[in-house]
Structure 1
């Protein structure tokens, strides 16, 4: 039997891997931070829980839209490939460029810093302890994924199991072990649904990343939707339970006033030992999300390399390891540069990454519209999975993305110009590149 071309991905991943990527990248460090912000904007405990449930449902709607695109156009490029088919290579390039230089690499660096903060508190390594730990995390996770997709996916499965176990421990501590709030605390905010949903949907972010491995999954493309929805349904259940645990232990006002809500709950339930345990859990959650980001980010960079002659070295796929090795190396180098920059200007660095949010939601909106465009343009295309209740659910997804685009611009204000500057640099670079045809991209 002839061997598969070394430049083409092999379907080595399973449904468990898709679930681990979906769950692991969504349950990041955010769930240990944003509940207090959501509580601060909530008018009541019921409103807070409704917001978390609504966030899960809206994310599932988005996952259904992505599942149709992934089943019809399985490709390691994910969003990049969808945008390329719907709008052409130039729009898609700007998105992949932003992912490569800021969005994904910035996320990897920030998550590495979150892990490093907790690691340094347990075992400090001197003056530059945080930077050393952050750089080590980037190198370790990138190395594991460079060594092979099976090793990277194995890391993801085990890290996700530990991460979920830690979150379950917080739920048990808050619901069963911690004493219920002894003194009623004042209610939190006056009820700002818009602000609540911005923070809630931020915490659910990352679910779309699973489509970047759609070309590497053994099962039928139709099952991508099942895996993504199942993963998000599980995350939604966990998020509701953990917020119930926070409310039982701290009350709405106490939750809103807490700077480290999970640590406060664990301290009530288990003393200082419990607070120390949660530090470990947060560090592992950051590593879990970072590993999934390394895996999916490199695949969009690889697809970018396949689309332009001068970037061809980024698009090389190592057949034996079944991984985009050059793209992983390039991504790690950029992330390490951001880690080094963050050592000198952590606040400005974090703000620069956050200010790319308008760009992210703009392109997510374009992906939602692409579903309509591609259905009209390619009506005979085989779509193993179709969004139910079309066109209502895709319209809801687009409306949600449009709202978050507006909210992110309103939140960042003039800082959104940083994201525009990133795109402007990409547009200047695009003028120098020679695109290949869509058909040649994975030939």
Structure 2
């Protein structure tokens, strides 16, 4: 009788019916089916360890950052920044300042990512510095709400623009957009489960598409400025807002469009040469996005007044109608491509956070298992997709995302604080990248401002609901993670076993 696989030790908490010989046969047949008979050593050498593979290079890393940051926001809703800033001048300054702030935050993450070379971004850094509880609260909030609901909103934007040409003169039926959104989620999750390289290729292609349309808008804006269309830029600071809360909300909406600057840290374990490629991708990708955002907004103001921009339902589409007619259809087409690429990047990184949380025992262990055939964290990716489909059922979840994004900035601030703390408590750690300590200090101050300003300016009950949900995670943390009650393991053991056999996944191997 074949020996049962004993890699599920007490740390894993489960046993499985899949025996060691069947695992080896499946791996050997998949990777060495063309090898000559009898060459056992060569076959073993060709067999990959069942871990996440280092398949993401510098170009793919840059495309992941750029492709995830540039979604539908810059094409649809830059008017929020204008609304709260009050005038063209401060609006453009806030877009530029958001780019600088994102770059500074990403540089902090570059030091953390090259110092702690684990996937999971904030989760790994908070756990290393403050212990398991803050890391758990981050993973609970992000895995259960932030990542899947953001995935849902991006695909809903994709669905609205993809279906709009088939319903001229009216809005597409809600059932159509939701079904199309669910289809996009299914397709993206499938691609990411099949291959890391395939997902990277998809990201690269769609990033090139969105950069192409941004280039067209920017060049059009430069041409219009050269032709003298500068009337909307004169007296640019008239009507500027001086409200503490309003400026905070303007920054908050701008930073929402920049969100994604930390995405590469979620996949550090899959980066080729992370000490070089992580900081280099950050220093290339984020300034590129910042320049694009400022120039695109400048182009918008060459053809629209502030009033027209605020009344526009989709700013880029209005710009296309005025500048590119009769080829104005090109803008909605590329918005579709942009949102699809952004959704792919969001799915790619979300799966890695759930994978790391499961590996560390903060989520169910099945989330840390890896596909035998494709070497992807397919259970974690599938969970993110299923939750995203659940979040597209409500009519509008944008309001929910706005409130939970405040929680995201709480964790950004804690992560920057962790960098400062570890400068004194973990001096032994190797730091290939080391930023001036004033940078994480600035990030902590800005994070506090961004969290407190909207609450002080306009306190609402939803902020309390957000905090209540985050701390509800403690009801699961203490019994199942901290105390490790035995009946929890008995409940999850048969579910884990059947899911493992269904999905053909195993725990990651330890590679020395």
Q: Mark yes or no: TM-score above 0.5.
A: yes
Distance 1:200 1:126 in 2: 30
Cα drift, residue 442 of structure 1: 7.9
Contact 1:302/1:327 (CA < 8 Å) preserved in 2?
yes
> 2:354 maps to which residue?
301
Question: 1:297-338 CA distances to partner (integer Å, 9 max, x unpaired)?
Answer: 010000111111871111012354231111011111111111
Pairs within 5 Å for 1:36-185: 36-123=79-166, 128-176=175-223
Contact 1:38/1:48 (CA < 8 Å) preserved in 2?
yes
2:289 matches 1:235: yes
Contact 1:76/1:215 (CA < 8 Å) preserved in 2?
yes
Q: Structure 2 regions of 5+ residues with no counterpart?
A: 1-44, 485-506
Distance 2:107 2:230 in 1: 43
Distance 1:96 1:317 in 2: 19
Give the 3 Å change call, closer, same or farther, for CA 309–398 of structure 1 in structure 2.
Answer: closer
> 1:259 maps to which residue?
313
Which aligned runs of 4 or more in structure 1 are off by greater than 4 angstroms?
A: 124-127, 177-189, 440-443
Give the 3 Å change call, closer, same or farther, for CA 375–248 of structure 1 in structure 2.
Answer: same
Cα drift, residue 230 of structure 1: 1.1
Contact 1:315/1:326 (CA < 8 Å) preserved in 2?
yes
Structure 2 residue corresponding to 1:246, chosen from 287, 295, 300: 300
Question: 1:366-401 CA distances to partner (integer Å, 9 max, x unpaired)?
Answer: 1111101222221011111111xx211111111111
Distance 1:228 1:183 in 2: 36
Distance 2:123 2:161 in 1: 34
> 1:20 maps to which residue?
63
Structure 2 residue corresponding to 1:281, chosen from 315, 331, 334: 334
Pairs within 5 Å for 1:320-331: 320-331=373-384
Give the 3 Å change call, closer, same or farther, for CA 131–184 of structure 1 in structure 2.
Answer: closer
Pairs within 5 Å for 1:337-416: 337-339=390-392, 341-342=393-394, 346-347=395-396, 349-387=397-435, 390-410=436-456, 413-416=460-463
- TM-score, normalised to structure 2, is 0.79
Distance 2:295 2:363 in 1: 50
Larger deviation, residues 171-180 vs 202-211: 171-180
Question: 1:2-41 CA distances to partner (integer Å, 9 max, x unpaired)?
Answer: 74531x2221110111101110111111112332222233
Give the 3 Å change call, closer, same or farther, for CA 395–272 of structure 1 in structure 2.
Answer: same
Cα drift, residue 282 of structure 1: 1.9
Give the 3 Å change call, closer, same or farther, for CA 272–421 of structure 1 in structure 2.
Answer: farther
Distance 1:264 1:355 in 2: 29
**Secondary structure of 1:432's match?**
helix
Distance 1:146 1:377 in 2: 39
CA RMSD, Structure 1 to Structure 2 (Å): 2.6
Distance 1:364 1:319 in 2: 34
Contact 2:69/2:257 (CA < 8 Å) preserved in 1?
yes
**Secondary structure of 2:54's match?**
coil
2:253 matches 1:199: yes
Contact 1:26/1:205 (CA < 8 Å) preserved in 2?
yes
Give the 3 Å change call, closer, same or farther, for CA 220–129 of structure 1 in structure 2.
Answer: closer
Distance 2:414 2:221 in 1: 41
Contact 2:57/2:277 (CA < 8 Å) preserved in 1?
no
Give the 3 Å change call, closer, same or farther, for CA 218–197 of structure 1 in structure 2.
Answer: same
Cα drift, residue 111 of structure 1: 0.6
Give the 3 Å change call, closer, same or farther, for CA 79–173 of structure 1 in structure 2.
Answer: same
**Secondary structure of 2:262's match?**
helix
Question: 1:183-240 CA distances to partner (integer Å, 9 max, x unpaired)?
Answer: 8699774334433322222211111111011111112424311211210110111112
Contact 2:267/2:349 (CA < 8 Å) preserved in 1?
yes
Larger deviation, residues 363-372 vs 121-130: 121-130
The structure that has the greater radius of gyration is 2
Give the 3 Å change call, closer, same or farther, for CA 117–435 of structure 1 in structure 2.
Answer: same
**Secondary structure of 1:355's match?**
helix
Larger deviation, residues 162-171 vs 55-64: 162-171
2:471 matches 1:424: yes
Q: Structure 1 regions of 5+ residues with no counterpart?
A: none
Cα drift, residue 432 of structure 1: 2.7
Contact 2:268/2:274 (CA < 8 Å) preserved in 1?
no
| Structure with the larger helix share | 1
> 2:34 maps to which residue?
none
Give the 3 Å change call, closer, same or farther, for CA 281–412 of structure 1 in structure 2.
Answer: farther
Give the 3 Å change call, closer, same or farther, for CA 126–251 of structure 1 in structure 2.
Answer: closer
Larger deviation, residues 36-45 vs 176-185: 176-185
- TM-score, normalised to structure 1, is 0.90
